[in-house]
Every structure is written in C-alpha cells, then in structure tokens.
C-alpha cells in the first residue's frame, strides 16, 4: 500500500486514505482543503466536507479555519490572497454531517428534491413509534387468542423497525411481516404530521439519485455544485450514505477523497457498515497515512504487539505497522507503555468490578505521587455511563478529583430527575408531590425535619413551591433557578456535598436546556424531562469544574480525542443480546433481525457473537490508541471456559515483551483525608425578616380542634359516641339492628372501614369475593375475631347495596369503579390573591347562601359563635377527600365515610332508626362536618376547574354525601323523608362552593 504524501500531487480521482489512529486524519483534510483552495481555481463554496456527528463537524470546521489562518498569517504562499478571500467567506464553506448535507441538498434542489418547506426535520419520536407498533399489533392480533408474538415483543420490534431503514431478517414469517406493517404505518403518520427523520432525508436523496427520471438531473446538479468532496470518518458510513456519495460524486477525473480507519468502525448499532468501506476500497485508489503523531514509540509498538495479526471483521481490517513520530516522553520504571493488570475470577475475594476499581485507584495514586503525571492528564475510558459514575465516585472517595465528561447525557443524572420532581410539585402541589420535591437536592429538606411533629419545614416548602410556580409564570425556568439559588442557598448546599460541583453544573445545565426548549407550560416541561434521550444535541455532560481533575468518559465519547495517560477498566466487552431485535451483517450488508430469539447454537447466533467480538476488538483498539504516553488495561479472566472477551482474545495470543503484564491488587485503597473546610461566615440581613404569625398550614381538623360540642371529639376518626337527644324509633323497620351493631368502635375501626371501601371492587359481579378477600387480609391486622370478620364482610356488602337516596336511586355498587376517585389529597393556597379571610366570614357566607329549610341552616350561626370564628385563614389548607364519585348525571359528589355510633349512649342497642335525617343532621353540626363539607366542595371546585375543559359549577358540582355506614343495611334499608337510613345528603348551592373558593383565595 502506498504512503500518501500530503505535499505531493493533489488527488484527481476517487481516493481512499487509510489512516490508523493518531496519523492525522483531520490534519490531512485541513491540509488538502487549503491546498485545493490555494492551488486550483476552486472557490471556498465549491468544496464539500462531510463527517460523522455534529461535534465532529464543528471540530473539522475549526481545524480547517485554523489551518487557513496559519498559512495566511505566515504569508509564505503565492496564493495568500486567495486563502485570505476564503477566510473572509468561510461561512460559505459546506462542512456538514451526512444527514445535514442531505437535508441541505433537498432544500437546494427545490421541487426536484421533493422538498416541503412545511416539514420539520428531527429524530425519531419515541411516542409515535410506539403508537404505530401498538396500533398495528391491535389491528392484526386483537381477536387472536394465540398471537405469534407477545405485545412486549411487538413493541420492541416496532420501535427498532421504525428507527432504522436496514433490510430485515428473517426473510419471511410473522415477525418480519409485523415489522414491515409498522414501518408502513410509521411512514404514513410522519407524512401526516409533516415530520422527516434523519433517516428520511438520506433515503429521499438516495431515492432521487437512483430514480431513472430524476437521477441524472440531481447528479449533475450536485456534481456542478461540489467539484471536490472530502469525507471524514468514512468507516462509519452506512450503505445509504455511501450510495449517495458514489452516485453523486464518484466518477473518473473527479477528486472524491475518503478518509477513515476501518479499525475504528464502532457504530454498528447505528447502522455503520464495514461493507460500505470495503466496497469503496475495492474500486478507489488506496493510500495510507503512515506516521503516528500522537503516541510515543513504545505505545505504538505495544498496540501492534497486542493486536498482532488479529482481524477485526474482515481480513483487510487489522493493525498494520506505522512509524512513531515521538520517542517515549514520560519517564517510567518500565520500558513498556502498554500495561495489563490481570487476575482470574477464582483468584479474587471480591467481585471483579470492585477489585478492578480498587486497583485502578491504586494505580492513579502511584501515577500522581511517583511520576510527573497530573490529574488532568489521566482519562478513564469505560463502556457504560453507569460504570463511569461508579469509578468517578471511587476516585473522589479516595481523595482524587474526577469529573464525568463526554457523550454521557445530563438527562440521566439525578439532578434531571430532581427537576422533573420539582416541576411536578409546581404543577400539582399535592402533599405527596411537595414532599418528594422537598427531599430532592434542589430544595434539600431533611426527612426527619419534614416529618417531625410541629416542624415548620413542610409549610415552608409549600410556600417555596408556590413561589417557584409564580416565578415560573413570570420568568420561566430561568426565574425558577434564580429563586432556588437565592431562597434555598442552592450553590452552597450542593457544593458542600461530595459530588456537589457535578450536581450544581447539572442543575444549571438542565435549567438551561429546559429554558431553551421552547416549552412554556409546566406540563410540557415535565413531559420533556421524561422523553429526553441520550443522543440529543446539547445534552452531553459539561465539565463540572475548572480545577485539575481526572476525566471519566465512555469509549465512544473518547473517539477522536487523545490523553497523556489512558486507563481501561472495562475490557471484557459486551454479551450479544439475542432476546431483542439486533443488527447483523449478512452478505456484506447490515440487516435488522426481528425474528424469534435464536438458540445459541444457531448459525445466526454464532454470526452475531463473532461480529459482536469484532466490534468490541475495534472499540478496544480505539481505547488503547487514545494514549499518548501510557495505557493501562485491566483483565479478569472468567472462571468458566470461553467468553474471554476482546482483551482475553488478544492476550491468548501472548503478545510478548512490548506488553507488560502483572497481577492486579484488589485490596482497597485508604482515602486521602482532606483538611478541614474553612468555616463560612454569614452576615445577617440588614433588617430581620417580618414573620407573619397568621400564616400556617392547617386543615379541617386543625380549624375545629377543641370546638366539638360532644364530650368526645367527633373529629377523631371515628368517635365512639356523640351528644344526641334520645329518639325512639317509630316503626319496626327502624328498630332493626345496625349490621355493624356488634362491631368495634373507635378510630382504629374507622380506619379499617375506610381502607376497605377505598380498595374494594364493588362491581356487582365481584363485590362479595372482593369484600371477603379484603376483610380476610385486613381484619386480623385490626384484631377482629373470625366472627367479627364475617359480620364486617356482610356489613360492607350491605353498605355497597344501599340506595344512596337522596343522592339518587343508585347504590355504590351500581357505580363503576372508574367513576371513583379515592383519597383525593389537596393543598389549597389561602389568601394567595388578596387579604386573608376569617372563619367567621366563611360562616357569614354560608348563612347568606343557605335557605331556611336547608337541613344544615342552623350551622353557620353555631360556627359564627364558636371560639374559632376569629381564626385567620392564611397559608395552606390541606386535606384528603375520602372519595369523589362521578354520578350518572355527570355531576360529581364529595363523599365521606363515617363510622360514628349515633345512639344516645354506648350501652343502647344500635338500630337503623338512629340514622334518620334529623339525628344525622344534628351529628353533622355537632362535629362541624358542614365546615368540612364546604371546604371539600371548594377543593373539588378548584380540582374540576383545572381538569375539565368545559367545567360548569352548576352542572358538575353535585351532592355532598356523608355515609354513616352503621345505618346502611342494604336494599331493604328504610327510607325516611326521601333519605335512606345512614345516607346524609346535602346539596349546597354551587354558588356557595364558588364563593368559598374565592374567599379562601382572598378575592372576597
């Protein structure tokens, strides 16, 4: 193979430059670009430079500009003015990724390119792919009792089939047919919504070039537009991309220069195909860049010795000798610069990862203390982001600075999840959401402080979240971040943590991405956090500190980079996964296999294992060749035979003296104890903050504590008795005993009944079995005897079969469980829009709205004359509605379950007549349940207003039902004055609920 001379004649035909790692591919492209501009009549806009990935395109643009600037600054070229002109118009240079080039050309071709200005270009939307897979599966198999593939398999096949345009394997069968149908539907739906994915633009341009009608015109236009084409990272080109380059630009007497290294083809999972490279190699003029300008001589020799004549996917793909430009520049006690630290699993007392991590930390410490190596000169390259985080943490724990960098995405970091939690709390400030947000690092409340009785932390966090929501409405995510930094001392808190610099960097990065996303609603931002994926532009981790630190990144992210010292702790490769769709090269073309998982002995499984090992060998080559002075790798041989992985495969060939092999030391390293942190002095604010003594988090229980007119506080769920005047039942049916007459009383029993009714499947067909199962589960926990459990089961069934009059002639069992919303928690901000009201004002409001014949008409005067009338409603009102029911007329009812005994005293037999409307109304007022009911109605009003687009209080706000379950006896429950015993129905005017909501908010 000929060595390419950058100073020799410029290429005139299709030329393939094979450039091993470190031989200067990017430099060669920059030099050739400068020479074409200097030595020919070409304009800066006449050259096309294509590379792989946006980051690589930006780097290539910078390197070309830098080289042109160097030549112009030197002023030694006869064509300096031409190059100066090229620099002046450098923004016209076409330096793009393949996908961006295809999109730009479709736009330039206009009608010929079938380009629609209304279409948008972007990545494959996950949700749309899954919709197409789901809809296709339902269309094909919804009536099939034994479909040929499961729903889970179908979803995985559908996603992968949409994500790529690779030809499918197997050649036939239901799996392939399903994948084809999903692709067809996906194509149609993308057209409907005006979306072109990155694969679409490539496919469209290739189709235009191959079309016998449009092909010649498109080809002529592209050749006229770009007389010279240079393609970087050509080994990562897929067949569609190569077809475009070949059809458009490969021709006699046209310089099309392809530069790549097949040993670094590591993107098979993205469709990259060595077949494209080898196809071009068979027809192009092939030359090589033969001098390594990166690595020291011993590193180059060690890599050559380690890989030897090992092929990596094809006989043509192997390590070939190159000349090292540098002698060894790092002084070490060992001549070799490729070190392998190894062990077998049987020799280790720890798991292999921990053993390797311990030895890696030890080697880092030796390098930093016994050589001239500095932390920023060390890079740890790993296979996965999870391993990167683990090793970075181990290094920091040992006292060595380490930062995550590279292509790892910030969206998988804990802080991104914390942002999602906080945004959820801002959008829906329920107790659960606020507590989760409080425990996130963005707020940083302690769990003990949050749950401690009487602690103000919960109230403070609620206020903070409300303030953050207001800040968002005023200034977006940027305003939220600023409020967090000022209100919660975010920077100081995070920096005090072990990985604080990383977390603070991520917090600001995620905020910036959210702010720049274009989403302007909390729900949109929450969805954005959930759907972000790994390869989005701008989502790669940023360096968390400017201080010298060891860099930890993935091998894929390190491609194209170089480091003085490289550490490779993950060299065992990856196991080929046959249980999901996978890519496979067949007949020199990569395919997507979507069929049933092959058995490990099948030919296709053997091919997959071999190709996986080939790609892992290439990835390992990338890792070793990042090193300038030293590379250290770790190898733990598995206990079982076979499965040695890429490094084990190489070591089995005994690479010889150029590679230094020694046993690893698995013992842990003592951490370096840092010195004491300097104490921070905080100056107090110029004026002490004003504390609003009326602000509090309260509830119905808090508002009515101590007010109950009965000897026992009715609010304690549930009381044993209330202070009622004795009433003699007037009929035989009212003297019937309560179904729960012989069951326990008290709060514990009330809790049991609430949980039963919350979890019960009360549909007619399942009611009896569900009640029996639940009582059997929960009864023993509340010390019920078997007889009591049997009685409770029957009583619960009776409750569900009792007509709910006056709410309606239906029963709980008649209502589908889908119309039941149990335990609706709420946190209502009080006085957030005006002056705080008092409880007395609320009583006056109730008095103004209730008619004289209302069953609770006497209650407002009782509340107005109580000790709580002057209580100020300021802060937050919290509560939990037992159940909200959607009634057959589409109205919504607030329902509360009560287990109160309404007999005159505990010794009296409990009968159904104790639960007629009059004693229930009196019990309601004694316990201040009407206050609870109207507060819950106001909460439901706000909830429905936020959830129903067509919400109308007069239509949707319905009854309030207090179900005194001890008085509910099933279908034969007596009816008194239009009400079933045990069912207290109250229908407050909708205007009252609306007015109470306004009063609580400070608007009245």
Contact between residue 631 and residue 568 where contact means Cβ atoms under 8 Å apart: yes
Q: Which of 533, 568, 602 finishes a domain?
A: 533
Closest CA to 257 of 21, 9, 622: 9
Q: Is residue 841 domain-shared with residue 990, that is, in the same domain?
A: yes
Q: Residue 964: enclosing H or E segment and its boundaries?
A: strand 957-964
Q: Is residue 896 domain-shared with residue 959, that is, in the same domain?
A: yes
The answer to whether 896 is a known ligand-binding residue is: yes
The DSSP line for 26-55 is HHHHHHHHHHHHHHSS--GGGEEEEESSHH
Cα separation, 828 vs 611, whole angstroms: 60
- Report whether pLDDT(71) > 60: yes
714 band by pLDDT with thresholds 50, 70 and 90: very low
Q: Is residue 79 domain-shared with residue 204, that is, in the same domain?
A: yes
Q: Which of 167, 193, 219 finishes a domain?
A: 193
Each residue's pLDDT tens digit, 304-322: 999 999 999 888 899 999 9
Q: Compute the mean pLDDT over every residue in the chain, rounded to the nearest whole number.
A: 87
Range 526-540 average pLDDT: 62
Q: Is residue 621 domain-shared with residue 477, that is, in the same domain?
A: no
Cα separation, 559 vs 261, whole angstroms: 12
Structure tokens at 759: 């979890």
**Percent residues over pLDDT 70 in the chain:** 92
Q: Is residue 59 domain-shared with residue 152, that is, in the same domain?
A: no
Look at 21-25, 291-295, 533-537, 759-763 and tell me which has the smallest mean pLDDT.
533-537
Segments forming the whole domain that contains residue 359 = 326-408+552-663
Q: What is the largest CA-CA distance in the chain?
A: 119
Closest CA to 916 of 976, 965, 863, 993: 976
Please report how many Cα atoms fall inside a 13 Å half-sphere around the Cα of residue 877, on the Cβ side: 30
Angle between helices 500-516 and 457-487 in degrees, nearest 10: 80
Cα separation, 627 vs 336, whole angstroms: 13
- Helices within 625-662 (DSSP H only): 645-651
Q: Is residue 264 domain-shared with residue 392, that is, in the same domain?
A: no
Residue 378: what pLDDT?
A: 95
Domain harbouring 102, CATH code:
3.40.50.300
676 band by pLDDT with thresholds 50, 70 and 90: low
What CA–CA distances, in Å, run from 865 to 198, 845, 859, 861? 72, 14, 10, 6
Q: What's phi and psi for 613, nearest 5 deg? A: -65, -40
Q: Which of 663, 686, 721 finishes a domain?
A: 663
Is 684 among the domain residues? no
Contact between residue 21 and residue 294 where contact means Cβ atoms under 8 Å apart: yes
- Helices within 765-858 (DSSP H only): 767-778, 786-801, 839-849
Is 56 among the domain residues? yes
Residue 272: what pLDDT?
A: 67
Is 785 among the domain residues? no
| Cα angle for residues 411, 416, 422 (degrees, 5° grid) | 150
Is 816 among the domain residues? yes
Q: Is residue 985 domain-shared with residue 851, that is, in the same domain?
A: yes
Q: Is residue 377 domain-shared with residue 455, that is, in the same domain?
A: no
The answer to whether 882 is a known ligand-binding residue is: yes
Helix, coil or strand: residue 833: coil
Closest CA to 446 of 466, 461, 427: 461
Cα separation, 981 vs 467, whole angstroms: 47
Residue 726: what pLDDT?
A: 52
- Per the document, the length of the chain is 1004
Cβ neighbours of residue 686 closer than 8 Å, sequence gap 6 or more: none
Domain harbouring 862, CATH code:
3.90.320.10
Each residue's pLDDT tens digit, 411-462: 777 888 889 889 988 888 887 888 888 888 888 887 777 777 767 877 888 8
Is 464 among the domain residues? yes
Q: Is residue 268 domain-shared with residue 400, that is, in the same domain?
A: no
Structural domains counted in the chain: 5
Contact between residue 238 and residue 61 where contact means Cβ atoms under 8 Å apart: no
Helix, coil or strand: residue 897: strand
Cα end-to-end distance, the chain, whole Å? 89
710 band by pLDDT with thresholds 50, 70 and 90: very low
- What does DSSP assign to residue 838? B
Range 834-851 average pLDDT: 92
Structure tokens at 414: 């804990």
Q: What is the C-alpha radius of gyration for the chain, rounded to an integer number of angstroms?
A: 37
Q: Residue 885: enclosing H or E segment and its boundaries?
A: strand 875-886
509 band by pLDDT with thresholds 50, 70 and 90: confident
Is 764 among the domain residues? no
975 or 497, greater pLDDT: 975
- Report whether pLDDT(689) > 90: no
Closest CA to 472 of 463, 462, 461, 481: 481
Each residue's pLDDT tens digit, 331-356: 998 999 999 999 999 899 999 999 99
- Helices within 824-978 (DSSP H only): 839-849, 859-864, 917-926, 929-947, 953-956
Q: Is residue 16 domain-shared with residue 42, that is, in the same domain?
A: yes
Contact between residue 403 and residue 414 where contact means Cβ atoms under 8 Å apart: no
Annotated catalytic residues are 896
Is 683 among the domain residues? no
Structure tokens at 811: 């029963």
- What does DSSP assign to residue 735? G
Range 624-630 average pLDDT: 96
CA torsion, ordered 689, 695, 696, 700, to nearest 10 deg: 180
747 band by pLDDT with thresholds 50, 70 and 90: confident
Residue 537: what pLDDT?
A: 45
Residue 925: what pLDDT?
A: 93
Is 752 among the domain residues? no
Residue 170: what pLDDT?
A: 92
Contact between residue 11 and residue 255 where contact means Cβ atoms under 8 Å apart: yes
Q: Is residue 144 domain-shared with residue 227, that is, in the same domain?
A: no
Q: Is residue 77 domain-shared with residue 208, that is, in the same domain?
A: yes
Cα separation, 469 vs 930, whole angstroms: 32
Q: Residue 566: enclosing H or E segment and its boundaries?
A: strand 563-568
């Amino acid at each position: 193979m000929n060595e390419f001379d950058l100073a020799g004649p410029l290429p005139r035909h299709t030329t393939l430059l094979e450039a091993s790692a470190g031989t200067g591919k990017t430099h060669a492209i920059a030099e050739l670009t400068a020479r074409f501009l200097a030595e020919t009549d070409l304009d800066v806009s006449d050259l096309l430079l294509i590379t792989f990935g946006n980051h690589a395109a930006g780097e290539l643009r910078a390197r070309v500009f830098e080289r042109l600037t160097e030549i112009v600054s030197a002023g030694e070229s006869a064509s300096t003015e031409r190059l100066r002109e090229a620099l002046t118009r450098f923004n016209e240079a076409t330096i793009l990724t393949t996908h961006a080039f295809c999109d730009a050309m479709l736009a330039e071709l206009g009608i010929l390119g079938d380009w629609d200005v209304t279409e948008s270009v972007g990545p494959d939307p996950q949700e749309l792919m899954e919709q197409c897979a789901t809809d296709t599966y339902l269309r094909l198999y919804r009536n099939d009792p034994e479909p040929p593939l499961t729903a889970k398999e179908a979803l995985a096949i559908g996603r992968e089939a949409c994500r790529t345009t690779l030809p499918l394997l197997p050649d036939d069968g239901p799996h392939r047919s399903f994948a084809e149908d999903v692709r067809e539907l996906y194509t149609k739906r993308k057209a409907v919504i005006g979306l072109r994915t990155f694969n679409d633009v490539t496919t469209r341009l290739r189709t235009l070039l191959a079309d016998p009608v449009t092909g010649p015109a498109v080809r002529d236009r592209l050749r006229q537009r770009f007389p010279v084409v240079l393609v970087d990272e050509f080994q990562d080109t897929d067949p569609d991309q190569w077809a475009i380059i070949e059809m458009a630009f490969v021709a006699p007497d046209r310089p099309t220069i392809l530069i790549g290294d097949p040993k670094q083809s590591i993107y098979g999972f993205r469709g990259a195909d060595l077949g494209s490279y080898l196809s071009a190699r068979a027809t192009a003029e092939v030359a090589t860049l033969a001098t390594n300008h990166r690595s020291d001589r011993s590193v180059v020799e060690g890599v050559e010795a380690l890989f030897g004549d090992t092929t990596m996917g094809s006989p043509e793909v192997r390590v070939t000798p190159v000349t090292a430009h540098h002698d060894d520049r790092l002084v070490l006690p060992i001549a070799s610069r490729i070190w392998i630290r190894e062990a077998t699993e049987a020799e280790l007392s720890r798991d292999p990862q921990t053993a390797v991590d311990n030895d890696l930390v030890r080697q880092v410490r030796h390098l930093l203390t016994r050589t001239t190596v500095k932390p920023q000169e060390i890079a740890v390259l790993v296979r996965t982001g999870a391993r990167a985080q683990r090793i970075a943490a181990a290094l920091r724990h040992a006292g060595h600075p380490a930062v995550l960098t590279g292509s790892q995405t910030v969206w998988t970091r804990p802080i991104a999840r914390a942002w999602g939690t906080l945004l959820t709390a801002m959008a829906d400030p329920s107790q659960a959401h606020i507590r989760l947000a409080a425990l996130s690092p963005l707020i940083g409340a302690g769990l003990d402080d949050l749950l401690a009785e009487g602690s103000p932390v919960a109230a403070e966090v609620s206020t903070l979240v409300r303030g953050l929501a207001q800040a968002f409405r005023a200034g977006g995510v940027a305003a939220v971040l600023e409020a967090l930094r000022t209100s919660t001392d975010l920077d100081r808190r995070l920096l005090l943590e072990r990985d604080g610099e990383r977390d603070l960097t991520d917090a600001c990065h995620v905020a910036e991405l959210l702010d720049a996303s274009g989403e302007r609603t909390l729900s949109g931002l929450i969805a954005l956090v959930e759907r972000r994926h790994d390869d989005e532009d701008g989502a790669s981790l940023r360096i968390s500190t400017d201080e010298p630190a060891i860099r930890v990144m993935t091998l894929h992210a390190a491609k194209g980079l170089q480091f003085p010292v490289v550490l490779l702790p993950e060299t065992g490769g990856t196991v080929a996964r046959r249980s999901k769709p996978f890519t496979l090269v067949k007949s020199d073309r990569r395919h997507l296999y979507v069929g049933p998982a092959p058995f490990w002995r099948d030919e296709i499984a053997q091919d997959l294992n071999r190709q996986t090992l080939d790609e892992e060998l290439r990835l390992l080559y990338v890792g070793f060749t990042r090193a300038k002075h030293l590379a250290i790798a770790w190898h733990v041989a598995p206990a079982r035979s076979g499965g040695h992985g890429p490094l084990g495969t190489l070591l089995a060939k005994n690479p010889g003296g150029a590679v230094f092999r020694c046993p690893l030391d698995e013992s842990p390293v003592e951490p370096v104890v840092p010195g004491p942190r300097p104490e921070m002095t905080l100056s107090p604010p110029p004026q002490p903050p004003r504390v609003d003594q009326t602000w509090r988090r309260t509830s119905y229980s808090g508002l009515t504590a101590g007010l109950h007119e009965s000897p026992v506080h009715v609010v304690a769920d549930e009381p044993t008795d209330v202070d009622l005047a004795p009433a003699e039942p007037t009929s035989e049916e009212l003297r019937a005993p309560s179904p729960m007459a012989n069951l326990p009383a008290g709060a514990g029993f009330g809790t049991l009944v609430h949980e039963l009714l919350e979890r019960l499947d009360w549909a007619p067909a399942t009611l009896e079995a569900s009640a029996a199962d639940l009582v059997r589960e929960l009864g023993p926990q509340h010390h019920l005897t078997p007889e009591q459990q049997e009685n409770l089961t029957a009583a619960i069934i009776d409750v569900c079969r009792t007509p709910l009059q006056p709410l309606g002639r239906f029963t709980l069992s008649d209502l589908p469980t889908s119309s039941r919303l149990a335990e609706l928690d709420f946190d209502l901000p009080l006085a957030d829009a005006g002056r705080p009201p008092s409880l007395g004002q609320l009583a006056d409001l109730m008095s103004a709205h209730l008619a004289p014949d209302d069953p609770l008409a006497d209650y407002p005067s009782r509340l107005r004359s109580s000790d709580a009338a002057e209580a100020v409603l300021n802060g937050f009102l919290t509560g939990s509605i037992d159940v909200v029911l959607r009634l057959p007329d589409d109205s919504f009812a607030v329902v509360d379950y009560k287990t109160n005994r309404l007999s005159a005293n505990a010794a009296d037999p409990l009968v159904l007549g104790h639960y007629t409307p009059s004693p229930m109304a009196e019990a309601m007022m004694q316990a201040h349940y009407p206050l609870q009911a109207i507060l819950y109605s106001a909460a439901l009003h706000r909830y429905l207003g936020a959830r129903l687009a067509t919400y109308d209080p007069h239509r949707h706000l319905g009854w309030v039902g207090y179900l005194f379950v001890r008085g509910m006896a099933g279908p034969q429950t007596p009816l008194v004055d239009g009400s079933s015993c045990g069912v207290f129905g109250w229908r407050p005017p909708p205007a009252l609920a609306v007015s109470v909501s306004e009063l609580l908010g400070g608007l009245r």
